[in-house]
Amino acid sequence: MDIIIQSLGFTAGQALEDFIREKLRTLKADRIVSANVVLYKGPAGNPEADYCEIRLEVPGNDPFVKKHSEYFETAVSECVDVLAKILHNAKKQSINRQADKAAIQAAILQSEDDYDDNDVELEDIVK
C-alpha cells in the first residue's frame, strides 16, 4: 500500500509521519491500493484545530474520513478506527452477497431438478 502524506501550512515531523504509517498498516484489507492523508490546522480560535483527512483508494468506492481533534495523533487514530469499521462492513456485505448468490443458484438448480422429475415424455403420451 502506498501512503501519501500531505501537510498543508506546516511541516509534519518524521515522528508524526511514522505514526501515520504505523496506524494505516493496521488496516486489514488486501484491496487497498493507496492511502492519501491530508493534515492541516483549522482556525486559530478553535481548540480542536488539527484536522486529518484520509482517503483510501480501493476498487469501487473510495472510503473518505475527516476528523478533527486537539492533536494530529488523536485525529489520525479516530480516522483509522472509522476506516477499519467501513472496511469490515464492506467485507461483511460482500460475504453476504456471495452467500445470497450461492443460495439463489442452489434454489434454481433444485427447481430445475424438481421440474425434470415431473415432466411427461411425449413418447409416454403417444403409447
**Per-residue confidence (pLDDT) for residue 36, from 0 to 100:** 96
Per-block mean pLDDT, blocks of 10 residues, the chain (127 long)? 90 93 88 92 79 92 92 94 92 81 77 60 63
What the block records as the C-alpha cell of 84 is: 477499519
Does 50 fall in a domain?
yes
* Residue range of the domain that includes 74: 2-84
Distance CA 86, CA 11 (A): 30
Does 126 fall in a domain?
no
**Per-residue confidence (pLDDT) for residue 21, from 0 to 100:** 93
**Per-residue confidence (pLDDT) for residue 72, from 0 to 100:** 92
The pTM assigned to this predicted structure is: 0.74
Number of domains in the chain: 1
Distance CA 35, CA 63 (A): 10
Does 26 fall in a domain?
yes
For the chain, what's the residue count? 127
Does 29 fall in a domain?
yes
Does 108 fall in a domain?
no
**Per-residue confidence (pLDDT) for residue 54, from 0 to 100:** 96
**Per-residue confidence (pLDDT) for residue 60, from 0 to 100:** 85
Does 72 fall in a domain?
yes
> What is the CATH number for 68?
3.30.160.100
**Per-residue confidence (pLDDT) for residue 95, from 0 to 100:** 81
